[in-house]
Amino acid sequence: MTTELSKALALFESGDPQGSMRTLRLAADEHTSAEIAPLVARLAAGAGFTDLAEASTALVARPGEADRLYRFGYACIERGVPALAVPAMREALRLTLAPPAAPAPQRTGLFRRKSKQQPDPTVPPRQVVLELVTSLERGERHAEALAVLREHDALLGDWPDRYLTVYNALMSGRIALAREVFDALCAPEGVWVEPGQRVERMLERAAALPPADEYDLRGWHYVLTGGLLTTLSPYGFSQGMTGRWAYLQDDFDSCRYGLERLRTVLEATGRKPASIGLLPDRGSQALGLAAARLFDIPAAPHQPGSRGALVVAYDLNACDPVVVADLRERAADELLYEHATCWTETPGVTADVSTLLVQSVSAPWEPGLQITGDGEAQRSEPDERSAEELAEAILTAEPAPSDGDGQTPADPDDVLAAFAARAAGSWASGPRDRIRSSGPVRSSRFT
């Protein structure tokens, strides 16, 4: 048993199943599925995941069968641990594509032998390819998914198979390949019409504003989501953050600066909102009220279908999911602004404008960590003021960016304005699709 597998087992036996599964996920590609299946069976049973427990037990009993590897991998995907599915699906695919072994001769009499061909119980190779791609996509391993699809293209049809080639090519930065494959696809039907339209919009945005390189966070964010990102994190750009935040303890200055950068986008694109749409949560209401006063336009509770409204959210993941779902289809001239957009658990819709991309954020009015005069860290109390009072605090804050560590590329207002102006013709149109992947620009994250 390897060190990592021993560590995972020890964590499970010490009463830490989450730590055990986290260790298994990180080390999944270093082990065969048969090696980890006994522990997965115990973890699944403890979590009440009967399907995964049964699939794991079946794999332990007969580890060399493609069908059992496939069912184990499928159950891992369904239960949210796609990293464990990858090696299982890879091995299942290898077995399904391997030439059939010569059957052992069977004795049928005293002097004669006759070959008896045994039926192959495995799933079709194409299905294994698609589930392997799914497991890689869930881990944002798009380059690997693309390699699998290209290697086994002869097994594939157009929908959804080669559509997945287009999608994973885009998510790994291969725009030209995505365009080539997309142009060769037949017209989609049924449930594939909408995904086809979504990647077509991505390709149109990529043609209009090609990203500069694999570090162009704003460019790729626009291509993939259609949204405009107004700021880059000023910390750790060259150490792996590439403009995103991992954790942010936000403040009122940041909220005010976000509204000023929103103003830059509105002016550059020629947009003049007629009203501010206020969402129900206190944080969004505070930010919306501040925006209404700053831009001198009226504010009212958001009503779906409000023409010309600028809907303001602090964090869409903190909003009522039903309210968020109503924002997918836009009213005429409607814009959606979100201050703190989560890039690891993306919200149900993509905002037209986002101030920043963050994995985890603590809003200025939420409890947070403060450093005392003697260097001790302590938890601050929540700010219980009303939305109106918080809006006043935002308006009186200093709208200036943090100096950061000096390693993030300069991003003055004129650079943002120029990008927004170039995007104006293809921006803020169509549905606000949720894009689950962070795309080609990689950033460090908490596990």
**Mean pLDDT across the stretch 257-265?**
98
329 alpha carbon, distance to own chain's centre = 20
* pLDDT at 103 > cutoff 70: no
Q: What is the pLDDT, as a whole number, of residue 302?
A: 97
**Mean pLDDT across the stretch 309-325?**
97
* pLDDT at 118 > cutoff 60: no
Angle of helix 193-208 versus helix 413-423 axis, rounded to 10: 130
* pLDDT at 344 > cutoff 70: yes
**Mean pLDDT across the stretch 271-296?**
98
Q: What is the pLDDT, as a whole number, of residue 117?
A: 42
Backbone angles phi and psi of 68, in degrees to 5: -75, -35
**Mean pLDDT across the stretch 364-392?**
84
Q: Please give, one letter per residue, the 3-state secondary structure of 391-442.
A: HHHHHCCCCCCCCCCCCCCCCCHHHHHHHHHHHCCCCCCCCCCCCCCCCCCC
Whole-model pTM: value is 0.91
Q: What is the pLDDT, as a whole number, of residue 119?
A: 43
* pLDDT at 100 > cutoff 90: no
Task: Tell me the pairing of strands 353-362 and 245-249.
Answer: parallel
Pick from 81, 65, 70: nearest CA to 128: 70
C-alpha distances (whole Å) from 312 to each of 51, 323, 356, 357 are 42, 12, 14, 16
**Mean pLDDT across the stretch 225-232?**
98
Domains (ranges, CATH) in the chain? 3-98+123-203 (1.25.40), 211-371+378-423 (3.40.50.2020)
Pick from 83, 90, 39: nearest CA to 69: 90
Q: What is the pLDDT, as a whole number, of residue 106?
A: 59
Kindly state the helix (H) or strand (E) to which residue 301 belongs, with its residue range. Answer: strand 299-301
C-alpha distances (whole Å) from 96 to each of 88, 101, 122, 280, 322 are 12, 12, 7, 53, 44
* pLDDT at 240 > cutoff 90: yes
Amino acid found at 444: S
The DSSP code for 156 is -
Structure tokens at 303: 């009503």
C-alpha distances (whole Å) from 124 to each of 106, 120, 162, 443 are 28, 10, 17, 36
Choose the weakest-confidence range: 15-19, 172-176, 347-351, 371-375: 371-375
State the average pLDDT for the chain. Answer: 93
